[in-house]
Amino acid sequence: MRADALRRSNGSDGPPNRSSVDPPAGVARLLSGVGTDGGTMTHEAHLDRWGHLPEWRGATFIDELETSGLRGHGGAWFPVGLKWRDIRASRLRAPIVVANGAEGEPASGKDRLLIEQVPHLVLDGAVVAAQALGASRVVVHVPARSVRTVTSAIESRQQHAPDPVGFDVVVAPDRFLAGQESAVVSTVNGRNPGIPTFTGLRTIRERGVDGRPTLVQNVETLAHVALIARFGAGWFRRIGTHDSPGTALVTVTGRWSEPRIIEAPLGVPLGQILGLESGEARSVQGVLLGGYGGGWVATADALAMPFTEEAARLLGTSIGAGVVALLPTGACPLSEVSRVVTYLEGQGAGQCGPCVNGLALLATAMNQLAFRPKSLRGGLSAIPTLCGLVEGRGACRHPDGVARFIRSALQVFSDHAAAHIQRGICQSTAAPFLPLPPGRHSRLATPRSR
Ligand code: SF4
């Protein structure tokens, strides 16, 4: 069915002119243009695959975006149309659009895949955003490793079909919090790169980069925007649920021999998405959803959960930026959590009390529980008490995320934690499982120094 027929069947006005290509019919939408060789899709190949962007007049695309129900895929799952309308309404000065591909989460790889393999889909989405908001400048915020790909993609567009906006490329620091909205603005403004500031979301939308209204939008979200602009809200809603329409890119660790990035239909049970039979699930002792700012969930609950942010919140966590890690039996969950918490402690900006003092105490306590349980003063209950001391007290949500990561681990792996206290550490010899950037993330005791 062509795009114009699709839009009529869903009550949306749809794209203003007919797309020259048919929309993807299956679950593979963003990934349907990704090759298997890992190479970057050229601008010519991109136009062959997706056709030219339709010309949406003024803010009309924001209506379409609201009809689509698209939510932000950077981790917050905030309604995108509402965010854009907010910025459009506060246009005392021309806004800035930031395509955010920082992806500081070590367990996620989907933003990197999009930027390096289908950069024109992301750039198209940023152009649509700029036109809808009346912005003349787009900042592409990516790690140093992706600067060359993005720069060459921008140059190729300028040669063949110049965009109506100017692009700047800004390097995202290699930090866990680099993609946090206020940290992105700090980086682009050239002050305290990668460091969150206490502003509140509304303030960034009103006064962000250079004091202008600023849209910071994750690159996957922008790639979805590029397809909605071509094929309309009705097509977008053909997959997913009413509140969480469409698909999501998910970085899966522990299901196959190597981590894999898949495109999943929102609302389908996670076990079905992963093709995991109940027999195979017995080799999984717990599931991490949402990465290191997310939380652990019991395996059966996670696999039965419809893959949406709403369902994850009912289980006390988030799907975040689409990170799923299946912890195999045989790994020590407490040593995994300890390694990650030590890493996260080092990622705080050191400007608020909970990060300066609280996270160090939590990292020490988790390390003791994992490797020297007899030295944990106050026993197991000491750790939730420490979590309570940092929760809700930082200028950003980093301490809350660390506390959720720890609390959920103590719930899901409660038997394992009790066994460490009562009988000493387990004898797991499994290699570290959860991915971390190179560096030393176990500064107190390691399994070898038990
Ligand atoms: S809570 Fe931590 S990471 Fe967040 S702003 Fe304060 S010091 Fe920085």
- CATH code for position 301: 3.10.20.600
**C-alpha distances out from residue 343 to 8, 123, 291, 363, 400, Å:** 51, 32, 13, 9, 15
At residue 261, the pLDDT reads: 97
64 and 109 inside one domain:
yes
> What's the mean per-residue pLDDT of the chain?
91
CA 81 / ligand 1 centre spacing (Å): 29
Write down the pLDDT at residue 129: 97
Q: Are residues 297 and 347 in the same domain?
A: no
**Secondary structure of the chain: what % helix, strand, coil (to 5)?**
45, 15, 40
In a domain, 62, yes or no: yes
Q: Whose CA is nearest to atom 1 of ligand 1?
A: 394
Q: What is the mean pLDDT of residues 354-362?
A: 91
User: What pLDDT was estimated at residue 71?
Assistant: 98
What is the tens place of the pLDDT at every residue in 145-188?
Answer: 999 999 999 999 999 889 999 999 999 999 999 999 999 999 99
Model pLDDT, residue 287? 98
Residue 206 lies in a domain: yes
Give the DSSP letter string of 14-79: --SS--SSPPP-SS-SGGGG--TT-PPPPHHHHHHHH-PPP---TTHHHHHHHHHT-B-TTTT--B
Q: Which among 304, 328, 352 is the end of a domain?
A: 328
Q: What is the pLDDT of residues 395-431, one digit of tens each?
A: 888 999 999 999 999 999 999 999 999 999 988 888 9
Short-list 309, 305, 263, CA closest to 281? 305
Question: In terms of domains, do 411 and 441 share one?
Answer: yes
Mean pLDDT of 9-16: 60
The pTM of this model reads: 0.93
Query: Which residues lie across from 295 on neighbouring strands?
Result: 289
Report yes or no: 57 and 65 within 8 Å, Cβ to Cβ.
no
Measured at the CA of 193, the angle between CA 131 and CA 388, to 5 degrees, comes to 105
Average pLDDT over residues 377-393: 94
CB-CB contact of 207 with 213 (8 Å): yes
Q: What atom in ligand 1 is closest to the CA of residue 348?
A: 3
What is the total count of domains within the chain?
A: 3
* Alpha carbon nearest to ligand 1 atom 4, residue: 396
172 and 155 in a common domain: yes
**To test ligand 1's pocket by mutation, which of 175, 177, 198 has the most ligand atoms within 8 angstroms of CB?**
177
Last residue of a domain, one of 217, 236, 255: 236
Do 170 and 317 have their domain in common? Answer: no
**What residues flank ligand 1, with Cβ below 6 Å?**
177, 196, 348-352, 354-355, 394-396, 398-399
| Mean pLDDT, residues 22-39 | 90
Q: Tell whether 169 and 33 lie within a shared domain.
A: yes
Give me the pLDDT at residue 13, please: 61
Residue 37: what pLDDT?
Answer: 83
> Is 241 domain-assigned?
no
**How far apart are the C-alpha atoms of 366 and 384, rounded to whole Å?**
11
Domain boundary among 236, 261, 279: 236
Atom of ligand 1 nearest to the CA of 394: 1
Rounded distance from Cα 13 to ligand 1 centre (Å): 44
Is pLDDT at 38 greater than 90 in this prediction?
no
Residue 98 maps to a domain: yes
Q: What is the structure's pLDDT at 198?
A: 66
At 199 the pLDDT is 61
Sheet holding 284-289, edge to edge: 260-265, 247-253, 323-328, 284-289, 295-297
Q: Is there a domain that residue 242 lies in?
A: no
Q: Would you say residue 10 lies in a domain?
A: yes
| Residue 176 counted as domain residue | yes
CATH number of the domain that residue 403 is part of: 1.20.1440.230
DSSP state of 115: H
Encoded tokens for 207: 């006064």
Element (H, E) at 248: strand 247-253
pLDDT of res. 350: 78
Query: Which pLDDT value is given to residue 2?
Result: 42
441 with 302, same domain: the answer is no
17: confidence class by pLDDT, cuts 50, 70, 90: low
Q: 200: domain range?
A: 3-236
- First-to-last CA distance in the chain? 63
| pLDDT, tens only, 46-66 | 999 999 999 898 889 999 999
Report the DSSP beta bridge partners of residue 216.
98
Q: Is the pLDDT of residue 205 over 60?
A: yes
Indicate if 429 and 355 belong to the same structural domain: yes
Same domain, 289 and 346: no
126, 23: one domain: yes
Nearest protein CA to atom 3 of ligand 1, as residue? 348
pLDDT in tens, 67-109: 999 999 999 999 999 999 999 887 678 999 999 999 999 999 9
The closest residue, in CA terms, to atom 8 on ligand 1 is 349
The reported pLDDT for the residue numbered 442 is: 45
Residue 341: name the closest of 300, 390, 374, 298 by CA: 390
Residues 273 and 227 in one domain: no
Question: For the range 416-423, what are the long-range contacts, defined as Cβ-Cβ under 8 Å and sequence gap of 24 or more?
Answer: 416/332, 416/333, 416/334, 417/334, 417/369, 417/380, 418/380, 420/334, 420/369, 420/370, 420/373, 421/369, 421/373, 421/376, 421/379, 421/380
Residue 115 sits in the same domain as residue 252: no
- Is the pLDDT at 215 greater than 60? The verdict is yes
